[in-house]
C-alpha cells in the first residue's frame, strides 16, 4: 500500500489528480498539500473527495497539510504547483517563474522525502523535471515528468478515430518536448499489431492536420474552458497505477537520458521508459533518420532553455 501526495492540491489539475489516484487500489493515503493559508480550501477538497468514496467503494484515507514536513513517507509526490499558461502564451513562457517554485520545493524535500519518487506536471514540464532533478539531488530514475504521455494519448485517440478502431488497438508514441517541437514516432505506430505504414489507408492519413490538433489541444482547451484537467488527471492516474502496481509498462514520460536515443542525451525530455515501483528507466531505441533529426532539434531547444533557466536560478535573476 502507498501514500501519494499532491503538491498544488488546490489547483485544477491537483484536484482532479486527487480523485483519479484515490481510485487506485494500491493507494491507501492521499495527501493534499497546499501553500500556508490554504488549509480551509484543502479541508473542503478533502471532504468533497471523501464524499465520492461511498459511490466508488474507495477505501483510502485523505489528509491535508500546509506543512512540508508532512510529505515525509510519501511513496510518490505529484507536483502540480505553479502558474498555468494563458491561451496566448507558450508553456516555455512560464519557465523561470515556475522554476523558482520547483527549485525551492526540490531543495526542501531532498531531506524531508529522500526516498519518494517525484512526478512533475508543472509546465514547461521537461525543464521543470530537470530543475527538480538537479535541486532535489535525487537519482535520475526517481524524478520524471508527465512529458509527452498526454500528447501520445491525444495522438492515439486521433488515429483511432481516423481508422474507426478502438483506442486499445492503437499503439503509438510521441517523443521530445511537451510542446511545439514534439516528434510523433510513426515508425513505432501500430494498429491491431500491424505497422501503420503497411496499411494501404495510411496514405490518406492527414498527418499534418492530426499533429496540429495534438500540438494545439492544450491551447484550444485553455482558450475555451480555462484549463486542461481530465486529460492530464487521467494520465497522472495511469502513471501512478503503473508505478505502484510495479507493472513495468513502457510509457513516454520526461526522463533524464544519457545516450539512449542514437547517443543523444544529457537532457530531460519525453522518451519511452519502463516504469515500475522504483521509478523510470529509459529504453534504448533506434528510430528513422527523419525522426532522429527532429528529436535532435527538440533536444537542442530544451537543452538551451534549461541552460538559460539554470543560469538565471544560479544568478538570482528576476
Ligand X SMILES: O=C([O-])CC(=O)C(=O)O
Ligand Y SMILES: NC(=O)C1=CN([C@@H]2O[C@H](COP(=O)(O)OP(=O)(O)OC[C@H]3O[C@@H](n4cnc5c(N)ncnc54)[C@H](O)[C@@H]3O)[C@@H](O)[C@H]2O)C=CC1
CB of 130 to ligand X, least distance (A): 16
23 secondary structure, DSSP code: T
Q: Is 232 in the site for ligand Y (CB under 6 A)?
A: yes
Q: Which is nearer to ligand Y, 218 or 279 (CB)?
A: 218
Residues whose CB falls within 8 Å of the CB of residue 291, separated by 6 or more in sequence, listed in order:
175, 183, 185, 186, 187
User: Burial code of 262-283, b = ≥16 C-beta within 10 A, e = fewer?
Assistant: bebeebbbbbbbbbbbebbbbe
Give 116: exposed, middle or buried? Use CB within 10 Å, 0-12, 13-18, 19+: buried
Print the binding letters for residues 258-287 with ligand X: x by CB under 6 A, - otherwise. ------------------------------
| C-alpha cell of residue 271 | 522518451
For residue 210, give the 3-state DSSP assignment. helix
93 secondary structure, DSSP code: G
- Looking at 8, 60, 91, 95, which residue binds ligand X (CB under 6 A)? 91
Residues forming the annotated binding site for NAD(+)? 8-14, 98, 121-123
Q: Which is nearer to ligand X, 80 or 294 (CB)?
A: 80
Answer yes or no: are the C-beta atoms of 66 and 39 closer than 8 Å. Answer: yes
Answer yes or no: are the C-beta atoms of 245 and 254 closer than 8 Å. Answer: no
CB of 228 to ligand Y, least distance (A): 5
Catalytic choice (88, 149, 166, 178): 178
Residues whose CB falls within 8 Å of the CB of residue 178, separated by 6 or more in sequence, listed in order:
91, 123, 124, 125, 126, 145, 146, 147, 148, 150, 151, 254, 270
Residue 14 binds which entry of ligand Y, ligand X, none, with Cβ cut-offs from 5 to 8 Å by kind? ligand Y
Print the binding letters for residues 126-155 with ligand X: x by CB under 6 A, - otherwise. ------------------------x-----
Which range, of 83-91, 157-165, 169-177, 303-311, touches ligand Y by CB under 6 A?
A: 83-91
Helices and strands of the chain, counted as H and E runs: 8, 14
Q: Is 121 in the site for ligand Y (CB under 6 A)?
A: yes
Residue 121 binds which entry of ligand Y, ligand X, none, with Cβ cut-offs from 5 to 8 Å by kind? ligand Y
Print the binding letters for residues 1-40 with ligand Y: x by CB under 6 A, - otherwise. -------x-xxxxx-------------------xx-----
Q: Considering only residues 211-240, where is the footprint of ligand X by CB under 6 A?
A: 218-219, 222, 228, 231-232
Active site residue 262: no
Residues linked to residue 282 through DSSP beta bridges, in sequence order:
273
Which positions lie near ligand Y, rule CB under 6 A?
8, 10-14, 34-35, 80-85, 94, 98, 101, 121-123, 125, 146, 150, 178, 227-228, 232
Catalytic residues: 178
Amino acid at each position: 500500500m502507498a501514500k501519494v501526495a499532491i503538491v498544488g492540491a488546490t489547483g485544477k489539475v491537483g484536484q482532479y489528480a486527487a480523485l483519479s489516484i484515490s481510485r487506485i487500489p494500491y493507494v491507501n493515503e492521499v495527501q493534499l498539500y497546499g501553500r500556508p493559508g490554504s488549509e480551509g480550501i484543502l479541508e473542503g477538497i478533502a471532504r468533497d473527495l471523501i464524499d465520492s468514496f461511498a459511490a466508488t467503494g474507495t477505501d483510502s484515507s485523505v489528509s491535508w497539510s500546509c506543512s512540508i514536513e508532512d510529505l515525509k513517507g510519501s511513496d510518490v509526490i505529484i507536483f502540480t504547483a505553479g502558474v498555468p499558461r494563458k491561451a496566448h502564451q507558450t508553456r516555455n513562457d512560464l519557465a523561470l517563474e515556475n522554476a523558482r517554485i520547483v527549485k525551492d520545493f526540490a531543495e526542501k524535500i531532498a531531506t524531508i522525502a529522500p526516498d519518494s519518487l517525484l512526478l512533475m506536471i508543472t509546465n514547461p514540464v521537461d525543464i521543470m523535471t530537470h530543475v527538480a532533478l538537479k535541486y532535489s539531488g535525487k537519482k535520475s530514475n526517481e524524478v520524471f515528468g508527465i512529458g509527452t504521455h498526454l500528447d501520445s494519448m491525444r495522438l492515439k485517440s486521433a488515429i483511432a478515430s481516423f481508422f474507426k478502431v478502438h483506442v486499445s488497438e492503437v499503439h503509438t508514441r510521441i517523443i521530445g518536448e511537451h510542446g511545439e517541437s514534439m516528434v510523433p514516432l510513426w515508425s513505432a505506430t501500430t494498429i491491431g499489431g500491424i505497422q501503420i505504414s503497411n496499411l494501404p489507408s495510411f496514405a490518406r492519413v492527414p498527418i499534418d492536420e492530426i499533429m496540429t490538433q495534438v500540438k494545439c489541444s492544450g491551447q484550444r482547451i485553455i482558450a475555451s474552458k480555462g484549463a486542461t484537467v481530465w486529460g492530464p488527471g487521467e494520465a497522472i492516474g495511469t502513471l501512478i497505477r503503473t508505478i505502484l502496481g510495479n507493472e513495468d509498462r513502457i510509457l513516454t514520460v520526461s526522463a533524464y537520458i544519457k545516450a539512449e536515443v542514437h547517443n543523444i542525451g544529457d537532457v530531460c525530455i519525453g522518451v519511452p521508459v519502463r516504469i515500475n515501483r522504483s521509478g523510470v528507466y529509459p529504453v534504448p531505441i533506434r528510430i528513422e533518420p527523419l525522426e532522429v533529426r527532429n528529436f535532435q532539434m527538440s533536444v537542442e531547444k530544451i537543452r538551451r532553455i534549461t541552460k538559460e533557466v539554470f543560469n538565471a536560478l544560479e544568478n538570482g535573476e528576476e
